[in-house]
C-alpha cells in the first residue's frame, strides 16, 4: 500500500501532467485554422510548460543531481 507521501506525489504528478497537456492542447487548438504559430505563441507556450515543470520539481524538492542520476539510469544501452 502506498504511503501518504507517495499518494500526494502521485496526485501532484497527475495534476502537473494535466496542466502540461492542457497547454499543449491549447497550442493545437490555436493551430486549427492556422498554418503556423507565431514565434511568440510558441515561446509563451513553452515558457508556461517549463514553469509548470519547474514548480513541480521545486514543490517535490527534486534536485538537479537526482534528475541527472535518474536520467542516466533510464538511458537505453
- Domain residues for the domain of 10 are 4-74
45-54 contacts: CB < 8 A, separation 24 or more?
48/23, 49/20, 49/23, 49/24, 52/16, 52/19, 52/20, 52/23, 53/16, 53/20
75 grid coordinates: 538511458
In tens digits, the chain (77 residues) has pLDDT values of 568 878 888 888 999 999 999 988 888 887 777 767 788 888 888 898 999 999 988 988 888 888 888 888 776 65
For the chain, the domain total comes to: 1
If you search the block for the grid coordinates 534528475, which residue do you land on? 67
Amino acid at each position: 500500500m502506498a504511503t501518504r507521501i507517495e499518494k500526494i506525489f502521485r496526485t501532484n504528478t497527475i495534476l502537473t501532467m494535466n496542466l502540461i497537456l492542457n497547454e499543449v492542447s491549447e497550442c493545437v487548438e490555436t493551430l486549427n485554422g492556422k498554418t503556423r504559430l507565431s514565434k511568440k505563441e510558441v515561446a509563451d507556450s513553452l515558457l508556461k510548460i517549463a514553469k509548470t515543470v519547474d514548480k513541480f520539481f521545486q514543490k517535490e524538492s527534486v534536485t538537479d543531481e537526482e534528475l541527472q542520476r535518474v536520467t542516466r539510469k533510464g538511458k537505453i544501452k
